[in-house]
Amino acid sequence: MKPTLLITGGTGLVGSALRDLNLGDYECVFLSSKDCDLTSFTETRNLFIKVKPDFVIHLAACVGGLFKNMTQKVKMLEDNLAINTNVLKCSKLLGVKRLVACLSTCIFPNKVVYPITADDLHNGPPHESNSGYAYAKRILEVQCRAYNETHGTNFVCVVPTNMYGPHDNFHPEDSHVIPALIRACHEAKLKKEPFVVRGTGRPLRQFMYSGDFARFLVKTLESSGNETKIIAPPEEVSICEVAHYIKDALGYDPPITFDDSFSDGQFRKTVIGEEFDFTFLEDGIIKTVNWYLQNLGQLRC
């Protein structure tokens, strides 16, 4: 009998990338928010009792882009604290053999010497713009260590850099930077208007294709050790460069206008990650744009 792998957040960006891997060695259960309210302990426990997972990849979270992080801090904090607590507690109660939990590079201190390593995680407050979400994710790392030390569980955290790819959320306000820019550029093309990018375009980021992270999650699930891992391509690119890649992929050559009335957020978050075979950013953006155009009628937005 195949072991059961429960993937929370199974219909989101990374969950969909995991589905595309065709994980034939596992009986996979891809959990969506429609299947279970993970902020409820009762619903989470009942789900775990029903599924009886041997392994868990925990991706579910209340997420959003810079605007949502800045304007809904209480929701970002409380919902994520509840989700993480319930998933870890039920994983322990049901004897899950190994759990891999997804964090975010936004959890690292705002004032830090670059490049960032996993040892820097708790060495100062995160950037104020996403403090609610960031602190909830920090606590998830603390919870995993506490469970391992107290109950002998096998929980490990991975910290991905900024992700993008097919099945992303393309909401104009709540999405991350690449899907938001893809939508903005496509709509500008349809209206034959300038391509407006919020902020100055100068902040630097390390962007990772969702399929790469999915492969890394499976590798981590099937390895040993509980040390927190960072995964990020070594190259940093500016938001301005990303905008140019996107308009090229869409075949639109408008002037780019930068609206500096919007905050840039943190200027950079440079991290040292695990070595891995990463997709080139330009290639990943082309794949994402093509998927976006083929799925305009059924986007998460």
Give catalytic residues, as residue numbers: 133
Structure tokens at 73: 């801090």
Rounded CA separation 31/8 (Å)? 5
The residue to which tokens 């994520």 are assigned: 80
User: What DSSP letter does each residue of the chain carry, written as one string?
Assistant: -PPEEEEETTTSHHHHHHHHT--TTSEEEE--TTT--TT-HHHHHHHHHHH--SEEEE-------HHHHHH-HHHHHHHHHHHHHHHHHHHHHTT-SEEEEE--GGGS-SS-PSSB-GGGTTSS---GGGHHHHHHHHHHHHHHHHHHHHH---EEEEEE-EEE-TT-B--TTTS-HHHHHHHHHHHHHHHT--EEEES-S--EE-EEEHHHHHHHHHHHHTS-----EEE--S--EEHHHHHHHHHHHTT--PPEEEETTS----S---B------PPPHHHHHHHHHHHHHHTGGG-B-
